[in-house]
Amino acid sequence: MDYEKLLSFKYLKVRPCKEIKGSVSVSGAKNSALPLLAASLLTEEVELTNFPVLLDTLYALKILQALGKEIALSGNSVRIEGKISSVKVPFELSSLFRGSILFLGGLLGATGKAEVTYPGGCSIGSRPIDQHLKFLEALGADISVESGYIKVKLPSEPAVREFTFDVITVTGTENALLTLVRFKGEFELHNVALEPEVIDLIEFLKKLGVEITFKGRSIRFYVPPNGLKKGKVLHKVIPDRIEAGTFLVIGALLGNPLKVKNLEPNHLEAVISKLKEVGVKLKIQKDSVEVYRKEPLKAITLETAPYPGFPTDMQAQFMAMLSVAKGVSVIVENIFENRFQHALELSRMGADIEIKGKTAVIRGVKKLIGAPVNATDLRASASLVIAGLIAEGETTIYKIHHLLRGYEKIDEKLNSLGCEVFLGKT
């Protein structure tokens, strides 16, 4: 697990790419792999296939090792086995990425106890865990804070059998699902997140014997009297819809055509709908989408929203694309209050973007110019890669560890399509 190698890269050089013709395969979803790794604490042995090897997933594997699990990583498959020897998630690892908070639920579901710190990750605005803690308080958990760690101990039986989230929260929903396996019997969760990554976790939990049914944004969760099934669980991580959407945007700008493979088109309905609105031609098949460059692109208006709405994780990539669209586009960011940091970096490259609170107004320009820029968060870094591919001259993106947290071998994938993208260490 050589995450030091990934951490050694400091920048990415991107040269202009006139066109892309060929195909690219989407990796497994980071945002699915992380809750699945937390869920691996619930049983004796887990093997995940289609596993993305990224900074975030490697950090998560380090946490599992710190908790006592044995890890065997081979290519895009990982096996996790062994007993839990600690319920304390080390600060030096949890502070590195947002997904570390999922080990709270994994440990509680497995042992009834957990010690975690507030998670780290991208600086894209407030991402509190108040809903996680409110859920645990409702269960009757004993919660205390000592030396920077949140210590949680579950009761033998939950104080309530029903809970409603105040707001839709993906990791809050996932942590609740992971925690509830500790209690036999029925529980109802309301106002839950329904992202494909949440559903993937649910499919995993079903393999452990949990019965889960849906009605709108409500979940009925039932653990049978004999508890969870033991033994080996084999699970394939779903394709990364955000990586797929990123390549579809690249195809909209450069595809002649570009075929994006190993994806789930139904996970991308909101993105595909907006690409059609921009004027892009798409050929949708069972597990792939072929996208054709469109000139000029049309200006559009979009708003981010919880799934199945337009994903906040695709907002930055669309901003890069719309910066060269004809007319005035508007993006409203409803999920995070500080997720327009990439606008300044795109402006360094000649984009005309005005930020008004949670709204960005993008006036399309004829061209972008390559420049040195900083990746401010994971998806912002992807927007800068897109901008660099269509700009005149070379673009150097610094703080590239953000990109490596969520895009597996993106340099190799782009170079295989005829682009010139290079990771650098010094």
3-state helix, strand, coil in the chain (%, to 5): 35, 30, 35
CA atoms within 13 A on the CB side of 392: 8
Cα distance between residue 175 and residue 181, in whole Å: 11
* 3-27+239-424 is a CATH 3.65.10.10 domain: yes
User: C-alpha angle with apex 131: 126 to 134, nearest 5 degrees?
Assistant: 135
Cα distance between residue 21 and residue 417, in whole Å: 6
Strand partners, 150: 116, 145
In the annotation, is 17 catalytic? no
Specify the CATH architecture of the domain 30-236.
Alpha-beta prism (3.65)
Contact (CB, 8 A) for 348 and 376: no
Domains 3-27+239-424 and 30-236 agree in fold:
yes
Residue from 49, 78, 52 nearest 65 by CA: 78
Interval 345-373: pLDDT, tens: 999 999 999 999 999 999 999 999 999 99
How is the chain split into domains, by residue range? 3-27+239-424, 30-236
Q: What pLDDT sits at residue 123?
A: 45
Taking 50 as the pLDDT cut, the residues of the chain under it are: 1, 121-126
Q: What is the DSSP letter of 297?
A: P
Interval 117-127: pLDDT, tens: 987 644 434 45
Q: What pLDDT sits at residue 120?
A: 60
Alpha-carbon Rg for the chain in angstroms: 22
Cα distance between residue 366 and residue 390, in whole Å: 11
Task: Catalytic residue, from 122, 205, 316, 385: name it.
Answer: 122
Helices marked H in 112-191: 130-139, 170-180
